[in-house]
């Protein structure tokens, strides 16, 4: 069954993508049908993450491109937490199709089996989405990508003739309306909690590499008690109810 499913995905021209949610349901999009480009590859070895996904495809959904979507087929063993964390750490986009409950009758019917692999919305989930432009288009909102811990100094003259020294951090801003990201700088807060510099949401600063959305913090701004303009909320994918476990941030 495992080999048959991989061949079905490799030959396919379309694939139902799972629904997705993050930040306890604040961010979400429904199932989508993606068109697949020719040339899917089986048993791709990703040496840097010690992962060998079942199939790699090129997918397009709602004009959003995934140049490398990795597909895992579950028959007896699914993607465990250790493997999922390696996928997150390496920055891959991966989904899993669960065929553990497919019976012999479906297995012997080529059309019914292909439907289970390609079109059934209830047997698939996202392991991880790392593509900021894909998420921005799916969510129809801005998604921020931090790529480095590096910070810079920014000097701002005040009305009293003093100089305010801020720390800034570069980020890429993706939106559904733009093909290319905009390079911008986050102005970091100057507050501390438990010996750690934090923003208005309590996130450690500088921000760790990963995907974020911008957040509003009451009292923020140039003179808001040390909180400056940018506060980012990390995008943490929700997990099924029976698999609640906190993942490390990138």
The whole-number pLDDT of residue 222 equals 39
Global confidence as pTM = 0.85
Task: List Cα–Cα distances, 183 to 32, 75, 174, 229, in angstroms.
Answer: 29, 43, 9, 16
Whether 246 shows a pLDDT value over 50: the answer reads: no
pLDDT digits (tens, 9 = 90+) for 204-236: 999 999 999 988 766 554 333 444 467 899 999
pLDDT, mean of residues 4-15: 94
- d(C-alpha 136, C-alpha 175), whole Å: 5
Is residue 9 within 8 Å of 114, Cβ to Cβ? no
Parse the chain into domains and list their residue ranges: 2-130, 143-234
210-222 burial, b at 16+ Cβ within 10 Å, e below that, comes to: bbbbbeebeebee
pLDDT digits (tens, 9 = 90+) for 44-76: 777 665 788 899 999 999 889 999 999 999 998
pLDDT digits (tens, 9 = 90+) for 138-189: 999 999 999 999 999 988 788 888 887 888 999 999 999 888 999 998 888 8
Nearest to 95 by CA among 115, 135, 68, 124: 124
- d(C-alpha 155, C-alpha 87), whole Å: 39
Q: What is the dihedral of CA 186, 89, 10, 243, to 10 degrees?
A: -100
Q: Does domain 143-234 have CATH number 2.40.50?
A: yes
Alpha helices in 91-225 (DSSP H): 104-107, 110-118, 132-139
pLDDT digits (tens, 9 = 90+) for 111-130: 999 999 999 999 999 999 99
Show the tokens assigned to 106: 């479906």
């Amino acid at each position: 069954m495992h080999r048959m499913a991989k061949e079905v995905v490799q030959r396919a021209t379309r694939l139902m993508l799972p629904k997705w949610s993050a930040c306890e349901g604040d961010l979400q999009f429904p199932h989508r049908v993606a068109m697949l480009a020719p040339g899917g590859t089986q048993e791709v070895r990703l040496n840097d993450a010690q992962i060998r996904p079942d199939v790699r495809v090129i997918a397009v959904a709602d004009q959003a491109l995934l140049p490398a979507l990795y597909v895992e087929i579950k028959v007896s063993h699914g993607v465990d937490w250790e493997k999922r964390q390696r996928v997150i750490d390496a920055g891959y986009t991966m989904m899993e199709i669960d065929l553990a409950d497919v019976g012999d009758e479906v297995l012997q019917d080529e059309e019914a089996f292909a439907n289970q692999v390609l079109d059934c919305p209830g047997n698939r989930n996202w392991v991880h989405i790392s593509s900021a432009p894909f998420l921005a288009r799916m969510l129809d909102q801005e998604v921020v990508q931090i790529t480095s811990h590096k910070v810079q100094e920014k000097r701002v003259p005040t009305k009293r003739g003093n100089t305010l020294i801020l720390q800034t951090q570069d980020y890429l801003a993706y939106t559904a309306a733009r093909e290319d990201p905009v390079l911008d700088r986050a102005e970091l807060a100057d507050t501390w909690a438990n010996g750690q510099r934090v923003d208005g949401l309590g996130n450690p600063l500088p921000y760790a590499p990963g995907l974020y959305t911008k957040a509003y913090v009451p009292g923020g701004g140039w003179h808001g008690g040390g909180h400056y303009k940018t506060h980012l909320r990390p995008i943490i994918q929700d997990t099924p109810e029976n698999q609640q476990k906190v993942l490390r941030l990138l």
